Chains A and B, each alone.
Chain A
Amino acid sequence: MRVVRRHLLGLVGLCIVAGAVTAALGAPLWASHDPIAGDFAASLSPPGTPGHPFGTDQLGRDVYARVLYGARIALFIGFSTVVVTAVVGGLVGLVAGFFGGWLGAVLMRVADVQLSFPFVLLALTINAIVGLGLRNTIISLSAAGWVVYARVVRGEVLSVKQRDYVQAAAALGTGRSRILLRHVLPNVAPSIIVVGSLQFSQFIVAEAAISFLGFGVQPPTPAWGSMLSESRDFLYVAWWLAAFPGAALALTALGINLVGDWLRDVLDPKLRV
């Protein structure tokens, strides 16, 4: 029964993620309106208005279309950040764990300093300095987020390094780079995948939070965070401006979390992130 429930939840998560990806990729197919073009005559129509299932915003833009296109921004930023942090943090963790030495020590000190600072605030500060926009948001989230990978991968490498098969390979005279690529990396890979899936939703929510505060992705680009930010001024008259982008964000985060938990149970039950 427990096994069934575990896989069931993972499957539910997978369906939600598939839905979000479909919405993002096919946004122009599902939405009949341009997400940026406004229509003042139809501004602030409630949900259910013909042609506008989720209503329209203060500029008469179709909320349904904006939520769909918003999925593109969210998933693109989340995915890019996961890839960048996995590569950068993974490399740092590999170097620090496998070779050690002063470089590893310095890198892990940097990671400690970064971890003594709240993630969202750090990403926000970096974003304020490097500048706004889509690309800079990915850069700031990556700069703030690589440390988790570095820590986890370093810990894993340190333990894998002691295993008999690595010791045996070294004793047989296998080169260090070959040991690293053929013996250590494949055994660390499951952790990288699990951390990535668990970080994915954190990055999406953080991106929305940063855009919500006025940094990050700027209007009129339909990002969920900036839509929520704009909705604050209209909360008294138009609840749907806040409800739909936020629900999309929460649902996407939920789906990714479920998949992440499931992957962890299957691939790496010991890992605690």
Chain B
Amino acid sequence: MRAYVLSRIGQTALVVFLALTAVFFLVRLGGDPVLLFLPMDIQAKDVDEFRQRLGFNDPLAVQYGRFVARAARGDFGESLRYRRPALGLVLERLPATLSLAAAALALTACISIPAGVVAAVRRGSLWDYVGTTGAVLGQAIPGFWLGLMLIYLFSVRLGWLPTGGTGGIVHFVMPCLVLASFYAARMARLTRSSVLETLREEYVLTARAKGLAEGLVIGKHTLKNSAIPIVTLAGLETGQLLGGAVITETIFAWPGLGRLTVQALLNRDFPVVLASVFVISVTYTLVNFGVDLLYGWLDPRTRREADA
């Protein structure tokens, strides 16, 4: 187990390192951030001084070496816009994004897993039909459009909910719904097909044959055994939730990581871009590491492979 955890940490470090390297070179190939950032009427002398100060005059390899050495210590440089350490800025925004993602994931699970199970168990019924239709629609409706329509209905027309920002529970309602709509649709479809597959297994037949209550047959024997693909998807979705947060946070003026990243990209504030790439890829790989550990609990057969 220890060797497994260590190798996973090594893999995570490699993925994060490669992602940072790729973004670093893309950014440097993409143009001179100094010229894009400084005002138009600035003197050539000042531009040069600014470049010198930020180290943009050195060869690319030297810049890269310095970047790696600093990044290893958690130093991504100063934000060009806020004049503050980039990593600090990013980490400050992380809790807002994580709380939104967690709430959306919880909502997704609460809607999609019961819906998927009911659709599978009562296959061909009205519930199945309504659920499947809802899932197909949920997958097709883009989150940012749903967000705009919800704002129009609940904020402009009815005045029930704030259009954006943070503050209380009411601020969570619309961003959560928007984030959850797409993922709930996918997860409900997957739950349905996974439960349908498990229901055909012989141990489910055995459980029924020995007279177990239907609730136990479904809850214990079926759901736990259909959980692996669902948990895998949930893990992958968490990463996509972070990406979806980019759009949702922009619509609802949510002060999170996604909105900060979009603004940093628009402003060419590359230290902040690199720091967010770092935080997002670390979060994503950690979540999937957690998912792998869950497999061991869900399916004891995978434990031995993990130990090996």
Which positions in A face B, CB cutoff 8 Å? 2, 109-110, 112-113, 116-122, 124-126, 128-131, 201, 205, 208-209, 212-215, 228, 231-232, 235-236, 239, 242-243, 246-247, 249-251, 253-254, 257-258, 261
Question: In residues 274-308 of chain B, which contact A (Cβ within 8 Å)?
Answer: 277, 280-281, 284-285, 288
A120 to chain B: closest residue by CB: B243
- Judge if B212 is at the interface, Cβ distance under 8 Å: no
B133 to chain A: closest residue by CB: A9
B19 x A209 contact (CB < 8 A): no
B281 x A257 contact (CB < 8 A): no
Question: In residues 10-49 of chain B, which contact A (Cβ within 8 Å)?
Answer: 15, 18-19, 22-23, 26-27, 29-31
B144 x A212 contact (CB < 8 A): yes
Given A113-B18, A118-B240, A213-B247 contact (CB < 8 Å): yes
B265 x A125 contact (CB < 8 A): yes
A113 x B22 contact (CB < 8 A): yes
- Judge if B205 is at the interface, Cβ distance under 8 Å: no
B136's partner among A110, A122, A257 (CB-CB below 8 A) is: A257
B240 x A119 contact (CB < 8 A): yes
Q: Could you tell me the distance between the alpha carbons of A122 and B30 in the complex, rounded to whole angstroms?
A: 15
17 residue pairs from A and B, CB less than 8 Å apart? A2-B124, A116-B285, A116-B288, A118-B239, A119-B240, A121-B246, A124-B262, A125-B273, A128-B266, A208-B142, A212-B144, A213-B262, A228-B145, A246-B142, A250-B140, A254-B136, A257-B136
B141 x A215 contact (CB < 8 A): no
A246's partner among B148, B243, B265, B277 (CB-CB below 8 A) is: B148
B258 to chain A: closest residue by CB: A121
Q: Could you tell me the distance between the alpha carbons of A109 and B21 in the complex, rounded to whole angstroms?
A: 14
Given A213-B246, A258-B136, A205-B142 contact (CB < 8 Å): yes
B145 x A246 contact (CB < 8 A): yes
Q: Could you tell me the distance between the alpha carbons of A140 and B253 in the complex, rounded to whole angstroms?
A: 26
Residues of B with C-beta under 8 A to A109: 18
Binds A, one of B1-9, B73-81, B114-122, B149-157: B149-157
B149 x A112 contact (CB < 8 A): no
Residues of B with C-beta under 8 A to A251: 140
B15 x A112 contact (CB < 8 A): yes
Minimal beta-carbon separation of A264 from chain B (angstroms)? 12
Q: Could you tell me the distance between the alpha carbons of A131 and B26 in the complex, rounded to whole angstroms?
A: 12
Q: Tally B residues with Cβ within 8 Å of A.
A: 47
Query: Looking at chain A's contact residues, is the secondary structure mostly helix, strand, loop, or mixed?
Result: helix
- Known: A120-B243, A120-B244, A128-B273; 4 extra A-B contacts, CB below 8 A, are A116-B285, A129-B31, A209-B142, A212-B247
B229 to chain A: closest residue by CB: A272
B144 x A209 contact (CB < 8 A): yes
Q: Could you tell me the distance between the alpha carbons of A246 and B140 in the complex, rounded to whole angstroms?
A: 11
**Looking at A109, A117, A126, A228, which has the most chain B CB atoms within 10 Å of its CB?**
A117
B16 to chain A: closest residue by CB: A116
Query: Looking at chain B's contact residues, is the secondary structure mostly helix, strand, loop, or mixed?
Result: helix
Which positions in B face A, CB cutoff 8 Å? 15, 18-19, 22-23, 26-27, 29-31, 124, 136-137, 139-145, 148-149, 151-152, 156, 239-240, 242-244, 246-247, 250-251, 258, 261-262, 265-266, 268, 273, 277, 280-281, 284-285, 288
Given A117-B280, A118-B240, A253-B140, A242-B148 contact (CB < 8 Å): yes
Q: Could you tell me the distance between the alpha carbons of A261 and B189 in the complex, rounded to whole angstroms?
A: 12
B142 x A121 contact (CB < 8 A): no
Closest 10 CB pairs of A and B: A118-B243, A246-B145, A129-B30, A254-B140, A128-B265, A253-B140, A121-B243, A242-B148, A113-B18, A250-B141
Given A117-B280, A129-B30, A235-B151, A213-B250 contact (CB < 8 Å): yes
B148 x A228 contact (CB < 8 A): yes
B242's partner among A121, A124, A258 (CB-CB below 8 A) is: A121
B26 x A116 contact (CB < 8 A): no
Q: Could you tell me the distance between the alpha carbons of A131 and B239 in the complex, rounded to whole angstroms?
A: 25
A239 to chain B: closest residue by CB: B152
Residues of A with C-beta under 8 A to B277: 117, 125
A130 x B30 contact (CB < 8 A): yes
Q: Could you tell me the distance between the alpha carbons of A201 and B244 in the complex, rounded to whole angstroms?
A: 16
Q: Could you tell me the distance between the alpha carbons of A2 and B47 in the complex, rounded to whole angstroms?
A: 69
Given A113-B15, A117-B280, A121-B242, A129-B247 contact (CB < 8 Å): no
Q: Could you tell me the distance between the alpha carbons of A117 and B246 in the complex, rounded to whole angstroms?
A: 13
Given A128-B265, A215-B265, A231-B148, A120-B247 contact (CB < 8 Å): yes
Q: Could you tell me the distance between the alpha carbons of A246 and B262 in the complex, rounded to whole angstroms?
A: 22
Residues of B with C-beta under 8 A to A246: 142, 145, 148-149
**Looking at A109, A205, A251, which has the most chain B CB atoms within 10 Å of its CB?**
A205
A109 to chain B: closest residue by CB: B18
Q: Could you tell me the distance between the alpha carbons of A257 and B189 in the complex, rounded to whole angstroms?
A: 13
Q: Could you tell me the distance between the alpha carbons of A2 and B129 in the complex, rounded to whole angstroms?
A: 11
Residues of B with C-beta under 8 A to A209: 142-144, 247
Q: Could you tell me the distance between the alpha carbons of A172 and B19 in the complex, rounded to whole angstroms?
A: 45
Residues of A with C-beta under 8 A to B251: 232
A235 x B239 contact (CB < 8 A): no
Q: Could you tell me the distance between the alpha carbons of A213 and B265 in the complex, rounded to whole angstroms?
A: 11
Minimal beta-carbon separation of A147 from chain B (angstroms)? 13
Minimal beta-carbon separation of A194 from chain B (angstroms)? 16
